[in-house]
Every structure is written in C-alpha cells, then in structure tokens.
C-alpha cells in the first residue's frame, strides 16, 4: 500500500462543486487530463477535489446515486493515479448544508437529512474502499454553526459509519466557522483512530485576502487597495468611521508582515503541541484583485511558515474562482506564484 503524506496541492474548485448548472459540457471541459498533468508537472503531490452532493444525488430521488456523477470522480482518480497525485475528496456542499446559504441550512437540525448525509458518505466510501492511500476523504467544507456541538456529534457519527465500511481510510475533519484556525480547539477529537487528519482554512487578514470581493459587504465597500507587507493605519481609521465593522477590524495591526502571520498561526501550533495530531491546511489564498506583488509575497511567507511547521496544504484555487492560478483560458496568471504554492 502506498502511503500519502500530502505536502503541496491545489483545489479544483468550480468543477464538480459550485457549478452554475449541472452540465456534461461543463464537467467535460472545465478540468481535463491536461490540467492534472500540468499540476503534477508543477511539482505538486495532490489535489483537493471539492464535490457537491447534487453531483451524486437528486433531491427528488433520494438514495439513488448517479453513475454519471461518479464517472467524473472515477475519471479524476484515474488521471491523478497516472500522474502520481493523491486526491482529497471534499464534500463541499451537502444535503441541507452550504457554507454560503446559512439562513436556509437544515443539516444540523433535521435528523432525516443527517441520515441522508451519512448514507451519502456510505455510498462514497463503499465505492472507493479498495483504493489505497491515494484517496483521502473530507467530511464537510466550512461548517458555520453557533457552537461546535452539533457538528462534532454528526462528524463522529459519520466517521463511525465510514469505519464500518472502510476501517483504514484517511478521514479529514475540520472545525467550525468556515474551518477557522481559531476553532481548532473546539473540535472533539476522535479517540483511538490514528487515521484522522484535522484541517483548517486560512485567509487572513480577510480584508487583504478578499479585497474587492463582491460577495462580502465590507470588502465590497472598502475601496482602498491593501498591500503585503504593508501599512494598515488607514484601515484603523476606517474602523473608527464604521463602527458596524469594528468586530471584524479591531484586531488588525498598523502593519502586516510575516511576523503578523506567524502570530495568526499560533492556534495551529498549539493544537499540534497539545494533541499530537496531524494538521492540514485545506484552503488558503489571496484574491486576484489584490496587487500582484503583494499576492505573491503573502503566499511566499505563508507557504514558508507551513513548510517550517510541516503542515501540508492546498491552495485555492487552480482555475478561476477569483483566486485562480490559471485564468478561464488556462493561461498561468504568474509563474512565480505557481512555483511558490508548488513547493514541497
């Protein structure tokens, strides 16, 4: 059996998840075998493959899992195996849950939907139980709950169901509030299972990494370009003028650089020291609206810190999705950025 300890990867966001329409044309063209070979040629050792539940199950046909959806996962696994890449299969949107429709989510309050969620995972691991450690599975992307109790319960229940089918599969389990690094301490660890990997996402400081993002009120309204490393005193003044954003901006320093990033990583250091458990950073990145030199500098510093800590990672994202390494035509945005995120 091959053992994968993933070090440097990229998310294939926007392909089998967050798609605008369930369309064979999109699935057949957005990512192809050429893209997988390119990722391997860059020097990465894995991809994180987000999928939406709708790829595999229709809301009006529960428990009947779609072969046409599984085909694309199967194909991607074959491509990655040929290129020597590992795969993290990430359930990005689940029945009754999406990180960007928080007001209508029902997964954590509806026992029937929870059973449906568990059954979906049983279908997935049953299909792939004969694969080696090339494949790891991630329970759910970016949970947002008032507290972590309901997610911890459901995660443990799902892990138990997976273990009845696939005792040795590596399972990735993240914390609350969009997989925040600050929520690692609220994860209820799985005892007596050395094949659980814990995960966090990192987009800090948010006002810099998401500057100009149209889907976030504060980043949409704050119109001044931010640089890394750079002076943040204007943000401090903005916070005084906009008290409605004070809770989001109050902890920002006057200047951000690598020492600031080091401080933000401390919860991950504490987690590993206190638990001895492995950690993985499933998403990180800077929006393509940020000044390019600052985008590159932030990635260089953050990747360097994770390398020092021996924490594997997967940047967001390979293509488009506002954070892409390549544009819609597959053209590399900047070679230096690719080289940085591909370092092992």
At 295-313, the pLDDT tens digits run 999 999 999 999 999 999 9
- Hey, which residues are catalytic here? 142, 283
Mean pLDDT in the chain?
95
As a whole number of angstroms, the distance between CA 125 and CA 169 comes to 8
At 20-59, the pLDDT tens digits run 889 999 999 999 999 999 999 999 999 999 999 999 999 9
Residue 109's pLDDT is 96
Residue 277 above 80 pLDDT? yes
Question: Is position 125 within any domain?
Answer: yes
Question: Is position 146 within any domain?
Answer: yes
Residue 236's pLDDT is 86
Residue 4's pLDDT is 55
Nearest Cα residue to 166 out of 199, 195, 191, 190: 195
At 4-18, the pLDDT tens digits run 589 999 999 999 999
Residue 2's pLDDT is 43
DSSP 214-246: TTSHHHHH--S---SSEE-HHHHHHHHH-GGGH
At 111-150, the pLDDT tens digits run 999 999 999 999 999 999 999 999 999 999 999 999 999 9
> What percent of the chain shows pLDDT beyond 70?
99
Place of tokens 């991630």: 138
Question: Who wins on pLDDT, 197 or 241?
Answer: 197
Number of independent structural domains in the chain: 1
Question: Is position 245 within any domain?
Answer: no
3-class DSSP assignment, residue 149: helix
Nearest Cα residue to 226 out of 239, 210, 214, 242: 210
Residue 248's pLDDT is 84
Residue 20's pLDDT is 86
Question: Is position 265 within any domain?
Answer: yes
Question: Is position 246 within any domain?
Answer: no
Residue 102 above 90 pLDDT? no
The domain that holds 63 is classified in CATH as 3.20.20.80
As a whole number of angstroms, the distance between CA 14 and CA 141 comes to 14
Question: Is position 230 within any domain?
Answer: no
Residue 195 above 70 pLDDT? yes
Residue 89 above 60 pLDDT? yes
- Phi and psi based region of residue 306 (left: phi greater than 0; alpha: psi -120 to 50; beta: remaining): alpha
Residue 255's pLDDT is 95
As a whole number of angstroms, the distance between CA 155 and CA 174 comes to 9
| Torsion of Cα atoms, 140 then 173 then 152 then 55, to 10° | 20
Question: Is position 247 within any domain?
Answer: no
Find the domain containing 86 and state its range: 8-210+258-341
Residue 1: pLDDT band by 50, 70, 90 thresholds? very low
């Amino acid at each position: 059996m091959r053992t994968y300890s993933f070090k440097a990867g990229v998310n294939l966001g926007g392909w089998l998840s967050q798609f605008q329409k369930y369309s064979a044309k999109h699935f057949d063209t957005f990512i192809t075998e050429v893209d997988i070979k390119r990722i391997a040629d860059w020097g990465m050792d894995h991809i994180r493959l987000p999928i939406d539940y709708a790829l595999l199950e229709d809301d009006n046909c529960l428990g009947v899992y779609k072969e046409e959806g599984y085909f694309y996962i199967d194909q991607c696994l074959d491509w990655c195996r040929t290129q020597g890449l590992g795969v993290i299969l990430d359930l990005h949107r689940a029945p009754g849950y999406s990180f960007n429709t928080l007001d209508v989510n029902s997964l954590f309050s509806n026992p029937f939907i929870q059973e449906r969620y568990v059954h979906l995972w049983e279908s997935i691991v049953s299909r792939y139980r004969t694969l080696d450690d090339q494949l790891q599975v991630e329970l759910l992307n970016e949970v947002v709950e008032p507290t972590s109790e309901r997610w911890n319960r459901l995660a443990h229940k799902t892990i138990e169901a997976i273990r009845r089918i696939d005792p040795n599969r590596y399972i990735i389990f993240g914390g609350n509030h969009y997989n925040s690094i600050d929520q690692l301490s609220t994860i209820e660890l799985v005892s007596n299972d050395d094949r659980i990997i814990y995960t966090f996402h990192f987009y800090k400081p948010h006002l810099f990494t998401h500057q100009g993002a149209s889907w976030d009120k504060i980043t949409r309204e704050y119109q001044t370009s931010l640089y890394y490393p750079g002076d943040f005193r204007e943000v401090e003044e903005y916070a005084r003028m906009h008290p409605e954003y004070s809770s989001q901006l109050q902890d920002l320093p006057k200047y951000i650089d690598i020492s600031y990033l080091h401080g933000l990583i401390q919860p991950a250091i504490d987690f590993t020291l206190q638990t001895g458990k492995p950690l993985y950073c499933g998403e990180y990145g800077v929006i393509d609206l940020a000044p390019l030199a600052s985008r590159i500098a932030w990635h260089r510093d953050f990747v360097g810190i994770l390398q020092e800590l021996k924490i594997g990672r997967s940047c967001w994202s390979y293509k488009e999705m506002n954070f892409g390494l390549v544009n819609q035509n597959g053209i590399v945005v900047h070679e230096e950025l690719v080289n940085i995120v591909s370092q092992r």
